[in-house]
Structures are given as structure tokens and as C-alpha cells.
Amino acid sequence: PRLPLTTSSHPQALENVNVRLRELYPQSDELFDILLISHNHAQVGVRFINSINHYGLNIERFCLTGGNSPIGYLEAYNTNLYLSADEEKVQEALAEGIAAATMFSPGAGVQVAPGTKQLRVAFDGDAVLFSDESERIVKEHGLDSFFEHEKKNVDQPLSQGPFKGFAEALGRIQRKFYAKGERLTCPIRTYLVTARSAASSGGRALKTLRSWGLELDEALFLAGAPKGPLLEKIRPHIFFDDQMFHIEGAKEHGTVAAHVPFGVAQRRSRQATPPRD
């Protein structure tokens, strides 16, 4: 997968995956590739190079667009994931069909959960891996209608969300390790961390993943409980969610989180925001 980052997200863990892949598949070119992409002018690249060398990061690809939006270049770079601190750019990328999210680091005074050599990626379900179709029912008709709808449609797969393709890309790399008998020592681990309840609405989520052939390592159904404490135990390198209160909860517990501005929750949020003078 190609990962253009405006801020690098634990590239050491990505490099660890690449090292292991090269050991098992010396001729394989299916590796993690980090691209630094910016609307800055070309001469700023010297500063980027100095910073990258200072921190010992393995980032060889730059895309400096001299004031133009970089989003048009993402498809040409075969991008699987775009991360930025600029929500407008993230929304542009999502509109182009590319998995994208706005990065947030834990605030000042909050200790960042220590990373692991194993790359750990945690996904929310609705409006991230899945579409927002079920979330719309919650927002418009309440939880009881949602539970009834999910039970009625338990065997009907949910439509795909913006991060299905990225999760599948991770899964393809995981299967390369499984094929060599390294399931238990695979350097990638993926998680579904959802506010859904297991008994009343979890079945449809799991059956949807199965229908896609997408195997996540762990599925955690929280039934509306806060996600932050559990994320602190998981210690993912990054957590993706469409709702800012879950992002804030993750940050409070030292997790690097990325907001996916997709689906009905974003429209409701904008409607609730008072106009500025």
C-alpha cells in the first residue's frame, strides 16, 4: 500500500513489515511505501530532507505541488491511504474514492501509548469500513428502530465504506505471511472497534466482513461504551473513526487517532455548528 502522509505515522512499524516481507519474498514489490505530499514549493524539499534524515525515516518519495492541491496526484501514485491535518484536503480525497482521514495526536500532557514493532490498525465500523446506512437509521429513528432493522437485515451485507479498500490492502499483505506459516508472528494486526452491540447488531457487521472475504484479527463490540480505555490496551499505531467524540476519547488515552469526515454524522455536526461572525 502507498501511504502519503503529511505527518509520518510510526514509519518504523511499516519498515518492520517491509523487512519481514523482503525476507520471505525477496522478489516481491508489494511493500509499504510512504509518500510525503505537500502543496509547498519545491525548494522546501531541502528542509523536508533534513528533517527526514534527522529522524532516520525511510521516506524516499516526495510530491511538492507549488501551491496546487496535491489531491489530483493521489490516484497516479496508486494511493491506498491519505492522512493530513487539513480536513478540506481529506474531504477532497474521500470525494475521489481514496481512504482519507484527518490526523490528531494526543494533546499536551497526555502520554502517547508506546508503539509496538507489530503494526496495529484499529477501525470503526459504520461510516468507516461500512457505509453510513445503519447510522442514518440511528440518527433519524433512534436505537430501537436500528436494532430492529439490523436483525431484519442480518444476512444482507452492508455497503462498503471509504476504508474497505485500505483494510483489504492490509489483508493482502497479512495473507502473504499466513502463506508462509507466520499467522501467529504476522507483523500486522487489525481490529474492529465499534459502538455496536454484539447480540443485537454485531451479527450483520461480522457477516458483512465475511461476505467481503475480509478477515480482521479482533472484533470488539462496546455497546456504546467509551472506546478510549480499550484503545489504550490495544495500543494501535492509528485508530480511524467518523465521530469526533470517539477521536477525543482516543486522544485522552494516548492513542493517535484519525477522523474520517464521511457520512450522516458529519452533516449533523455541521448543522449543529453555529454560524460565525
Q: What is the CATH number of the domain that holds 242?
A: 3.40.50.1000
Of 70, 103, 136, the residue that ends a domain is 103
- Which residues, 6 or more positions from 259, have their beta carbon under 8 angstroms from its beta carbon? 87, 101, 102, 104, 241, 242, 244, 247
Whether 128 and 95 share a structural domain: no
The C-alpha atoms of residue 3 and residue 8 are separated, in whole angstroms, by: 9
Q: How many domains does the chain have?
A: 2
Q: Which residue has the cell 525548494?
A: 43
Q: Is the pTM of this model over 0.85?
A: yes
> What grid cell was written down for 28?
516481491
Task: Classify residue 114: in a domain, yes or no.
Answer: no
Task: Classify residue 113: in a domain, yes or no.
Answer: no
Of 34, 69, 103, the residue that ends a domain is 103
Of 48, 70, 103, the residue that ends a domain is 103
| CA distances (Å), origin 200, targets 109, 151, 152, 153, 195 | 39, 7, 11, 12, 12
The C-alpha atoms of residue 61 and residue 58 are separated, in whole angstroms, by: 9
Our answer to whether residue 124 is catalytic in this structure is: yes
pLDDT by residue, tens only, the chain of 277 residues:
555 543 444 788 899 999 999 999 998 888 899 898 988 889 888 988 888 888 777 888 889 989 888 999 999 999 999 999 999 999 999 999 999 999 987 765 565 555 678 999 999 999 999 999 999 998 899 999 999 999 999 999 999 999 999 999 999 999 999 999 999 999 999 999 999 999 989 999 999 999 999 999 999 999 999 999 999 999 999 999 999 999 999 999 989 999 999 988 887 555 444 333 3
The active-site residue out of 124, 126, 132, 241 is: 124
The boundaries of the domain holding residue 75 are 8-103
